[in-house]
Structure 1
């Protein structure tokens, strides 16, 4: 739009500023707009260009599919590793629990045997004292 198409009409002047009105002239038919109103027409594509675009799209699709499959395989591999680690930790825990229980049972058995030996020793001492004193000897059943 050229500056000759614009008229400036002053309305009032004040100390604080001034007011004015811009009057635009009507558009002429010969005037060429500065920007096109519709996008430029695309050129007709040849069969060869269309084929190249289709091949490029197919390559992109295959590449994307391969990437998705690769990520899926990596995810499955990670899941297998996590599962294997969990199984291994569970087995280790089971072994440790079994060893701990076995150790505890052996300690209990040794304690029981020591207590029985102590009781038997006290009983022998008691029987020995009674024999020494001339009393009856009780019969022991094991």
Structure 2
């Protein structure tokens, strides 16, 4: 009663079929189950235990399970070899052209980036120059206003005529 139940369980297990299919091309689970013996071991509280014994391969099964060698390649003619060489040369040229296109695109992108950076640098220089000129003009106006205010205060304190001060300054 236990052995048939175990064999049914084994049929359901995909792992056994996976392992057997790795070794045997046309796998038949019934044939695999014939080549094994299942012995029940004493029952335990946690469940049942089984001992699975694989039988040595029989001469019939040995022939049935033999692995076939891959089909032999036919001899290639000179024409076939030349066609393959031409195809390889075309692939090489195509790959070379693709690499050259990628390099050209990369160089064009680098040139665009460089031109944009130069333009931004030029714009920045112009803006900085304009700001500097404006600041210098403001400083000049402020200095002239400061000197005029100082001259006025000096004239008020000294009470000298402006012509005399100008003459003294010129000398």
- TM over 0.5: same fold? yes
- Superposed CA offset, 1:64-87 (max 9, x none): 000000000111111111111111
1:11 CA drift (Å): 4.0
Partner of 2:139: 108
- Superposed CA offset, 1:26-60 (max 9, x none): 547x9265532x43211111122111111111111
Distance 1:62 1:45 in 2: 24
1:85 match: secondary structure:
helix
What is the root-mean-square deviation in Å for CA atoms of aligned residues? 2.9
Partner of 2:13: none
Tell me if 1:140 matches 2:140: no
For residues 126 and 31 of structure 1, do their structure 2 counterparts lie closer, same or farther at Cα, with a shift above 3 Å needed?
same
Partner of 2:88: 57
Query: Where in structure 2 are there 5+ consecutive unaligned residues?
Result: 1-23
Query: Where in structure 1 are there 5+ consecutive unaligned residues?
Result: 132-136
User: Which of the residues 52, 56, 65 maps onto 1:24?
Assistant: 56
Question: If the length of structure 2 is used for normalisation, what is the TM-score?
Answer: 0.64
Distance 1:25 1:124 in 2: 130
Give the structure with the higher percent helix. Answer: 2
- The alignment of Structure 1 onto Structure 2 pairs a total of residues equal to 133
Distance 1:10 1:125 in 2: 129
Distance 1:80 1:60 in 2: 30
1:72 match: secondary structure:
helix
1:90 CA drift (Å): 1.1
Alignment of 1:1-142 (within 5 A): 3=31, 7-15=35-43, 16-27=48-59, 31=63, 33-36=65-68, 38-128=69-159, 140-142=168-170
Question: If the length of structure 1 is used for normalisation, what is the TM-score?
Answer: 0.75
